[in-house]
Structure formats: C-alpha cells, structure tokens
Amino acid sequence: MDLNNIPKPTESELEILQILWLHGPSSVRFVNEKLNEEREVGYTTTLKLMQIMVDKGLALRNTESRTHIYQAAVSEADTQKRLLQKFVDTTFRGSAMKLVMQALGNHQASPEELDEIKALIEKMESGGDDN
Amino acid sequence: MDLNNIPKPTESELEILQILWLHGPSSVRFVNEKLNEEREVGYTTTLKLMQIMVDKGLALRNTESRTHIYQAAVSEADTQKRLLQKFVDTTFRGSAMKLVMQALGNHQASPEELDEIKALIEKMESGGDDN
DNA sequence: AATGATATACGAAGAGTTTCGTAAAAGCAA
DNA sequence: TTGCTTTTACGAAACTCTTCGTATATCATT
C-alpha cells in the first residue's frame, strides 16, 4: 500500500486499533481473544484483518519471532481527530458545536467532567484566538 | 424492506439525507445537482441510491407526478443521536466527554456558542439527574 | 523422527455499497 | 405523428469489507 497517505480505518480495523492502543504491541492471538470478549470472531479472520492493516499502513509488525507482534502505526489522538472531523462534517454538516451540545445532552456527565469542560471553555474565552 | 427497524444510513445515503433535511422534499434531479456541487455523481447513481433509501425506509416518495418527489423518512435529530452514540462507542470507547473535549479543542467556537454550552452545563449541574 | 499444536499465507466466497449502461415510459416540440 | 428530452426501472459490474477454509511452516513433546 502507499507509504504515506494512510486510509481511514474501517469499523473492524478500529476495534483492533483500540486494543493495540490500550495494550500496546500484541500478538494476533491476544487481539483475537480480546475481540472475542465482545463478539465471536475466528482466529484467521483477525489475522487477515491485521495483515491488511499492515498493508494499509495502519499497523506495524515485528516478524522476528514466529509469533508476529503487531502495533498501531497511527496514534489514537490523531485518529480520533481525523475521524471526528469527518464525522462532524458528514453528520452535523460541520457544526462541531451542535455535536457538542448533542453529546452533552445525551450522555450524563459527572460534576468533575463538567468542571473540566468549563475550565477548558474559560481558557478558550481568555486566550481565545489561537489553536 | 422491514417496516420499522430502519438501518443506519451509509455515507452516501447520509449525504442525500442532509440535502433532504436542508431543502425539504426534492426531485432526484435537484438532489443530484446538489451532490454535484461537492463531487461528480451520475444521475442514475443518485436515482438508484434514493430508490434504495425508500426500500430501506430512510426516505419516502410521492409518485403522483412523473417526477417523483422524495423526502426524508427519518428525522435529523434522531439520526444524529443514533450515529453519535455509535461513534462515541467505537472511536472514543464510549467516553462522550473525551469527544466533547476533542471537539472543543479542535474547532474554534464563537463566544456566543461557548456561552450556550456553559449555560447547558449550568443547567445540568443544578437539575443534574434527569434528561 | 513422528505427532500434535500453533502460526502465518493465500485465496476465495459472501455481503453490502456504489456506480452506471441500457431500456422502457412519459412528456414536449416541430 | 415523429422525433428529442426527461424520467424511472432494471440489472449487473466494480469495489470494499468481512469471513473463513485450506495449505504450509514452525515449534514442542515424546
């Protein structure tokens, strides 16, 4: 696959990335077991997906030992940012604020979390040009 | 398609829904022209998609005149809510607050918008159970 | 060495999505 | 009526994603 220019991960690939981000470099077996805590997936299915991810540049693998070790090749924060951008565009016509309001309204937040958000807003309102 | 139990719209279907939500009941030609403001799409491609959307229950159509008129069969708010829920789960491991923080950080908001959010937070902090 | 377990490689089937060519029907204009 | 345009209907190709069967290689155990 094209070095540089890494594509958007699919649903299944994102699930695997979540595991790699959370647990660090992992074997296919480990990832497959984690996936199977959520839903049934065959071992070779997971293997194939992870091989494709390497091909796409979403993951790297170390083939020194017989059991190959895979790791994420894209960062969680960057990926979230990219996917969020696209999601805001397609689902909220680019209005991040509408999304924020929806998210705040739908999900209940703890007082601590709300304070965190308020703090961020304060910061944005004071030094409110850059970023 | 199954009445009731309407599936999640695909990317292309969502694009079309956006147009229908924004402009109300529309002909295939109109929708196709709007789509072509963004990217090149053939007329029959748009037609086929819209027919499928009727089949899935995502859209309704009036066939009284020769030019059929389509309208969204699902509301914008409900759809956004559904898609947001799924997006939070898959991309932010269920943490709506992380998503909110990201969205606030990435996109610049006007003071008015920030105030709106603050107002919502105040409301949540006072009467903070229901909703 | 032989057996069994575990790993990767390969390829292809099946489902869903997107695209569009072609045909048929309906309306319009000369 | 005869053609030209617009519209819908139909079906299939192209593409992507997911899944898994089968083959092959590697390792450990006896």
Q: What is the pLDDT of residue A122?
A: 85
pLDDT tens-place string over residues B67-112: 999 999 999 999 999 999 999 999 999 999 899 999 988 877 788 8
Q: What is the DSSP string of chain B?
A: --SS-PPPP-HHHHHHHHHHHHH-SEEHHHHHHHHHTTS---HHHHHHHHHHHHHHTSEEEE-SSSS-EEEESS-HHHHHHHHHHHHHHHHHTT-HHHHHHHHHHHS---HHHHHHHHHHHHHHHHS-S--
pLDDT tens-place string over residues A104-126: 888 777 888 888 888 888 888 77
B119 and chain A: CB distance < 8 Å anywhere? no
Domain ranges of chain B: 11-72, 76-126
Q: Could you check: is the Cβ of residue B98 within 7 Å of any atom of nucleic acid strand D?
A: no
B81, A102 Cβ separation under 8 angstroms:
yes
B67, B29 Cβ separation under 8 angstroms:
yes
Cα A24 to Cα B47: distance, rounded to the nearest angstrom: 46
> Does CATH place domain A11-72 in 1.10.287.70?
no
pLDDT tens-place string over residues B8-54: 999 999 999 999 999 999 999 999 999 999 999 999 999 999 999 99
B60 and chain A: CB distance < 8 Å anywhere? no
The list of chain A residues with pLDDT below 50 reads 128-131
Q: Could you check: is the Cβ of residue A49 within 7 Å of any atom of nucleic acid strand D?
A: yes
CA–CA min distance A93, chain B (Å)? 8
Q: Could you check: is the Cβ of residue A6 within 7 Å of any atom of nucleic acid strand D?
A: no
A9 CA to D18 C1' in angstroms comes to 14
A98 CA to D2 C1' in angstroms comes to 57
Chain C positions with a protein C-beta closer than 7 Å: 6-12, 16-22, 26-27
